[in-house]
Chain A
Amino acid sequence: MGDHGPAKGFGRWLFTTNHKDIGSMYLWFSFAMFLMGGVFALVIRAELFQPGLQLVEPEFFNQMTTMHGLVMVFGAVMPAFVGLANWMIPMMVGAPDMALPRMNNWSFWILPFAFTLLASTLLMEGGGPNFGWTFYAPLSTTYAPPSVTYFIFAVHIMGASSIMGSINIIATILNMRAPGMTLMKMPLFVWTWLITAYLLIAVMPVLAGCVTMMLMDIHFGTSFFSAAGGGDPVLFQHVFWFFGHPEVYIMILPAFGIVSAIIPTFARKPLFGYASMVYATASIAFLSFIVWAHHMFTVGMPIAGELFFMYATMLIAVPTGVKVFNWVSTMFRGSMTFETPMLFAIAFVILFTIGGFSGLMLSIAPADFQYHDTYFVVAHFHYVLVPGAVFSIFAAVYYWLPKWCGNMYDERLGKAHFWLSFVGLNLTFFPMHFVGLAGMPRRIPDYALQFADFNQIASMGAFLFGFSQVFFLFIVIKTIRGGEKATDAVWDNPEGLEWTVASPAPYHTFTTPPPVK
């Protein structure tokens, strides 16, 4: 094979089977989607800056809430984690590349088509999807705009991409580890991704089935979700959330892995409770399959069902608590420094825990009837997704960027980005708890006067947070173009095989397996 470098020109990216190239493409793609979803969010926040209808029509507002959710979940967060997995997993387990490099190329390149399909619906007659990212039937079937078929096919393609990516990741982790790299020696990022990949291949097909049933209801006269034909719209919610709840862990488990890599480096102590971290992750994954109906407490379940899903949901707090405890214990009495990745990781631990607590409040079935479909729910899942998933991705980029491009990022700019994001997101999402508890419903373009003040604060915070991410783009480009050269270890004695290769990481690493102690 020889030691050949990357091909020249655009063909390099189109035909590449190199895990680093594909990882980079995933990350750039996800950032583009992050900005697009962010623009949709800013349309929402601009409209909600004051009560009344001023900027957009309610129909368009609904398309914005829907597209924001879909693009952020399927376009920004998931591909970002897959990109990190592509870049890091082969280097972390001492493999030369992913197990299935050509399929890897394919699973990336179908994504831009999926999102072009999805985004193009906004320009169609009748507009894009307007039924919320959860696309409950019959809103998404009987009452859907004609463009819903494009939405369905876009989801099919995204699902195919995720499933192929997951199969690849599992095959890499289980078959390509360097000799001596036993399962219980793997870095936690690899562990969390292994479990995430299993979740993905378990639930993405169910989502595909769900949208296929929608397609058949809309075009082929079946009645899976239509009461008129003997079906049941509530069935839709069961099928959707059977996918949907594991999906939220798909978006957070890799984040756990990232934070578990970063905190020990900057606390200069090994991770506290490695084995318990692995078991906690596995327990969370298992529990994610038996709690789905806590999203549907108000559909009219029998009391036994409400209680089962309530207690099962509360149970998730136990393994999650183990994780938070371990992160805090890792930091305890460590000689900590606060470089940008560490700042994001600490903010992750604190703010994700806040999101976890509001999740516990929502898990209380009798209380949920008050919170259901209010801004409290919006506040909850944004607290686990923005300072959770998104912050962990920022942390990962700052942590591994010097390894990727060979240059250190500007620490002052990184810290500025952190504080702008931190202040921006708390201004945006914290007031949502209050308006939610006071009864402001989610997904509405207009609201009662008493919610005006908090909404103004949230809108200002959203614009601050949004523009901070353009600043992030600037920092990353600046780092790639130049800057202080990074050492091979980059940080102060970090753990992991990825730090044993040169910075920037050569195009091919570990063509012969490294020794693992």
Chain B
Amino acid sequence: MTEQLNTTLSVRKLVARLVVVTVVMFGFGFALVPLYDLFCDVTGLNGKTNSEAFIPVAELIDTSRNVTVQFIATNNENMSWEFRPEVFSMKVHPGEEIETTFYARNPTSGEMTAQAIPSVSPGRAATYFHKTECFCFNQQLLSGGSAIDMPLRFIVDRDLPDDVNTITLSYTLFDVTETGVIQATSLTAL
């Protein structure tokens, strides 16, 4: 009889432990989300760039080197804005702070909010591409029919690997008029 009792007790203890494992693994599934973003942030994979303004330190400009920076502007599905870079490609020196603009126009009659999501290619250049000011840090509100030139200031890091000669910065513009959720997540995730 005591033996049976012992078995029941050890079964109970074991089951409790296994239930804890189950709950922890359920949590781990969700933990993969920040872990994934953290991993991409640290390694610069996935072309994820900083979502906060880079504070420039007085850097020397490496005039011996030219890097081509290309700009791409894409609309997400159902997004009706006109959206394009002012210049599509430029040559810059690493360390030099550059300013350019993107043009956006809301052709509809209603007020709309948009959010641009950046991505840098090749992915490993992402950590060397510093934005000191970017329209992607905030949502853009445009009344019907109005247009805006949105500024972007950036510095290409002087430590950019030697074999990277072209960096492509791509923006996808999302319509967030209704959801508005993008800002909260984008600031932490991107």
A222–B15 alpha-carbon span in the complex (Å): 34
Q: Are A223 and B181 in contact (CB under 8 A)?
A: yes
Q: Are A175 and B7 in contact (CB under 8 A)?
A: yes
Q: Judge whether A231 is part of the interface by a CB distance below 8 angstroms.
A: yes
Known A205-B25, A227-B117, A229-B182; contact A167-B46, beta-carbon cutoff 8 A:
no
Binds A, one of B29-37, B87-95, B158-166: B29-37
B151 CB to closest chain A CB, in angstroms? 22
A234–B48 alpha-carbon span in the complex (Å): 13
Which of B33, B123, B172, B182 counts the most A-chain CB atoms under 10 A from its CB? B33
Q: Per a CB cutoff under 8 Å, which of B26, B36, B172, B182 touches A209?
A: B26
Q: Judge whether A438 is part of the interface by a CB distance below 8 angstroms.
A: no
A210–B36 alpha-carbon span in the complex (Å): 14
Q: Per a CB cutoff under 8 Å, which of B23, B27, B28, B185 touches A230?
A: B185
Q: Are A175 and B32 in contact (CB under 8 A)?
A: no
Q: Are B182 and A230 in contact (CB under 8 A)?
A: yes
A493–B53 alpha-carbon span in the complex (Å): 76
Give the interface size bracket for A toward B. Answer: 35 or more
Which residues of B sit under 8 angstroms from A208, Cβ to Cβ? 26, 29
Which residues of A sit under 8 angstroms from B182, Cβ to Cβ? 223, 228-230
A239–B30 alpha-carbon span in the complex (Å): 9
Which residues of B sit under 8 angstroms from A223, Cβ to Cβ? 181-182, 185
Q: Judge whether B72 is part of the interface by a CB distance below 8 angstroms.
A: no
Considering only residues 200-256 of chain A, those with a C-beta below 8 Å from chain B are 201-210, 212-213, 221-224, 227-232, 234-235, 238-239, 242
Interface of B is mostly: helix
Which of B27, B32, B176 counts the most A-chain CB atoms under 10 A from its CB? B32
B74 CB to closest chain A CB, in angstroms? 11
Q: Are A235 and B15 in contact (CB under 8 A)?
A: no
Considering only residues 110-144 of chain B, those with a C-beta below 8 Å from chain A are 117, 123-124
Q: Are A201 and B36 in contact (CB under 8 A)?
A: no
B69 CB to closest chain A CB, in angstroms? 21
A170–B30 alpha-carbon span in the complex (Å): 25
A441–B190 alpha-carbon span in the complex (Å): 34
Known A163-B22, A230-B186; contact A302-B124, beta-carbon cutoff 8 A:
yes
Q: Which residue of B lies closest to A304 (CB)?
A: B43
Q: Judge whether A174 is part of the interface by a CB distance below 8 angstroms.
A: yes
Q: Per a CB cutoff under 8 Å, which of A99, A203, A227, A235 touches B25?
A: A203
Q: Are A232 and B19 in contact (CB under 8 A)?
A: no
Which of B30, B172, B176 counts the most A-chain CB atoms under 10 A from its CB? B30
Which residues of A sit under 8 angstroms from B23, Cβ to Cβ? 205
B52 CB to closest chain A CB, in angstroms? 14
Known A229-B179, A232-B36, A302-B123; contact A170-B174, beta-carbon cutoff 8 A:
no
A183 CB to closest chain B CB, in angstroms? 14
A401–B123 alpha-carbon span in the complex (Å): 58
Q: Judge whether A328 is part of the interface by a CB distance below 8 angstroms.
A: no
Q: Judge whether A176 is part of the interface by a CB distance below 8 angstroms.
A: yes
Q: Which residue of A lies closest to B39 (CB)?
A: A238
Q: Judge whether A282 is part of the interface by a CB distance below 8 angstroms.
A: no
Ranked nearest first, the 7 interchain pairs of A and B with the lowest CB-CB distance are A209-B29, A230-B185, A205-B26, A230-B186, A205-B25, A206-B29, A230-B189
Query: Hey, which bits of chain A sit against chain B, CB under 8 A?
Result: 99-100, 163, 166-167, 170-171, 174-176, 201-210, 212-213, 221-224, 227-232, 234-235, 238-239, 242, 300-302, 305
Besides the known contacts A201-B18, A207-B29, 13 further A-B residue pairs in the complex with CB atoms under 8 A apart: A205-B25, A205-B28, A205-B29, A213-B30, A223-B185, A228-B76, A229-B181, A229-B185, A229-B186, A230-B188, A230-B190, A235-B32, A301-B45
Pairs A–B under 8 Å by Cβ, sample size 13: A100-B15, A170-B14, A170-B18, A175-B11, A206-B28, A207-B29, A222-B185, A229-B174, A230-B190, A232-B46, A238-B32, A239-B29, A302-B123
Query: Hey, which bits of chain B sit against chain A, CB under 8 A?
Result: 7, 10-11, 14-15, 18-19, 21-23, 25-30, 32-33, 36, 43, 45-46, 76, 117, 123-124, 172, 174, 176, 179, 181-182, 185-186, 188-190
